[in-house]
Amino acid sequence: MADASADRVSRTRGLRPLAWLALAALLALAIALALGSVGIAPDELVAVLLGGGDALYQTLVLELRLPRALAAFGTGALLALAGALMQILLRNPLADPYVLGLSGGASVAALLAMLAGASMALVSGAAFVGALVSILIVFGLAHGTGSWTPTRLLLTGVVMAAGWGALISFLLAVSPVERLPGMLYWLMGDMAYAGSPWPVLGVAIASLLVVMPLGRTLNVLARGGLQAAALGVAVRPLEWTLFLLASLLTAVAVTTAGSVGFVGLMVPHMLRLRLGNDQRLILPASLLAGGTLLTLADTLARTLIAPQQLPVGVITALLGVPSFLYLLSRSR
């Protein structure tokens, strides 16, 4: 009885931050539509959104800005959610979506495809396959026989990441000079590659539906595997579910935009500093905040020194580091 009422209290308390984050997300999308290297007056923008307006503005807003903003939102949402899940899984604050070497596998496959002169669709496909291969290797090695701990999974992943890193450097060293800019942009993370936004958005919504029912169980797991097992949680199946889910989310994100850094590491931490460590709140909040951050960062990336275009990975860190440090210093 007491438990149920406590639950209700935390639920109403949780709705308010989510409402604010949803508002921020809408605002970020509006900013992304309104800003670009071509100035579009607010009334023109409204006219375009209502289905009319200048033909050129229609192309700019509906064909360029809107798909890119949605793709950025979906990618950021996936990365932040994957980061939050990895941090619960590994019980390690330094965990991010790439810590288990997944982006390395994706990058090696993507660079190989670029080296072969493949089209962008093939490069994305290769990145997804590379990510899956990396997941399977880490899964297979860490699963093995004998004792299994998150530490073992973490070490396997970190060593795999180092191996992929060496392969990436090798590929960069032997690639023809004229292909290097494209490869470097991909490695830094860049929304200019993003095609249709629907895959990332769809996966983001579907994954939220999968993890939300797990919220309370994850709260128990976050306090430690032994404690969770004592409380009747089937720890190992849950951990493997988390691992595979987080990996798949990351694979989809990396396939869309290359390895955008920072979002997956910092967004969950920032939210925990403000909202506490209730996964039922943190997971949807990560989705909204990650999407918002990447949408804003991508808007800056394409307008800051336009017509020069920056990779979005640069901006996520430049925006995120000071705001994270500020929250951290205030939270003590």
| Binders in 95-154 for another protein, by CB under 8 A | 119-120
- Smallest distance, Å, CB 53 to another protein? 14
Nearer to another protein (CB atom), residue 47 or residue 192: 192
Contact status: 54 vs another protein (CB under 8 A): no
Stretch that binds another protein, among 78-86, 145-153, 181-189, 254-262 (CB under 8 A): 181-189
Nearer to another protein (CB atom), residue 190 or residue 278: 190
Phi and psi, residue 254, nearest 5°: -65, -35
Contact status: 169 vs another protein (CB under 8 A): no
Instruction: Measure the CA–CA gap between 270 and 165, rounded to whole angstroms.
Output: 28
- Smallest distance, Å, CB 124 to another protein? 10
Nearer to another protein (CB atom), residue 169 or residue 323: 169
| Binders in 197-236 for another protein, by CB under 8 A | none
Contact status: 63 vs another protein (CB under 8 A): yes
Closest by Cα among 205, 203, 202, 249 to 89 = 249
Contact status: 188 vs another protein (CB under 8 A): no
Instruction: Measure the CA–CA gap between 263 and 43, rounded to whole angstroms.
Output: 33
Count interface residues toward another protein (CB under 8 A): 27
Contact status: 59 vs another protein (CB under 8 A): yes
Contact status: 38 vs another protein (CB under 8 A): yes
Q: Which residues have a Cβ under 8 Å from the Cβ of 158 and sit 6 or more positions away?
A: 99, 100, 101
Closest by Cα among 31, 41, 10, 308 to 181 = 308
Asked whether the CA dihedral 252, 254, 65, 26 is positive or negative, the reply is positive
Q: Which residues have a Cβ under 8 Å from the Cβ of 175 and sit 6 or more positions away?
A: 111, 114, 115, 183
Residue 264: how many other CB atoms lie within 10 Å: 33
Contact status: 58 vs another protein (CB under 8 A): no
Structure token pair of residue 242? 């988390």
Nearer to another protein (CB atom), residue 306 or residue 328: 306
Nearer to another protein (CB atom), residue 219 or residue 309: 309
- Binder among 73, 98, 139, 193 for another protein (CB under 8 A): 193
Instruction: Measure the CA–CA gap between 51 and 58, rounded to whole angstroms.
Output: 8
Nearer to another protein (CB atom), residue 293 or residue 310: 310
- Smallest distance, Å, CB 266 to another protein? 25
- Binder among 42, 213, 237, 307 for another protein (CB under 8 A): 307
- Binder among 2, 4, 173, 209 for another protein (CB under 8 A): 173
- Binder among 1, 177, 209, 226 for another protein (CB under 8 A): 177
Cβ-count burial 86-119 (b if 16+ within 10 Å, e if not)? bbbbbbeeebbbbbbbbbbbbbbbbbbbbeeeee
Contact status: 269 vs another protein (CB under 8 A): no
Is residue 194 helix, strand or coil? coil
Cα R_g (the chain), whole angstroms: 20
Burial of 67: CB neighbours in 10 Å, binned 0-12, 13-18, 19+ = middle
Contact status: 182 vs another protein (CB under 8 A): yes
Closest by Cα among 117, 106, 145, 139 to 251 = 106
Nearer to another protein (CB atom), residue 78 or residue 194: 194
Closest by Cα among 160, 197, 176 to 111 = 176
Contact status: 196 vs another protein (CB under 8 A): no
Interface positions with another protein (CB under 8 A): 36-38, 56, 59-60, 63-65, 119-120, 173, 176-178, 181-182, 185, 190, 192-193, 195, 302, 306-309
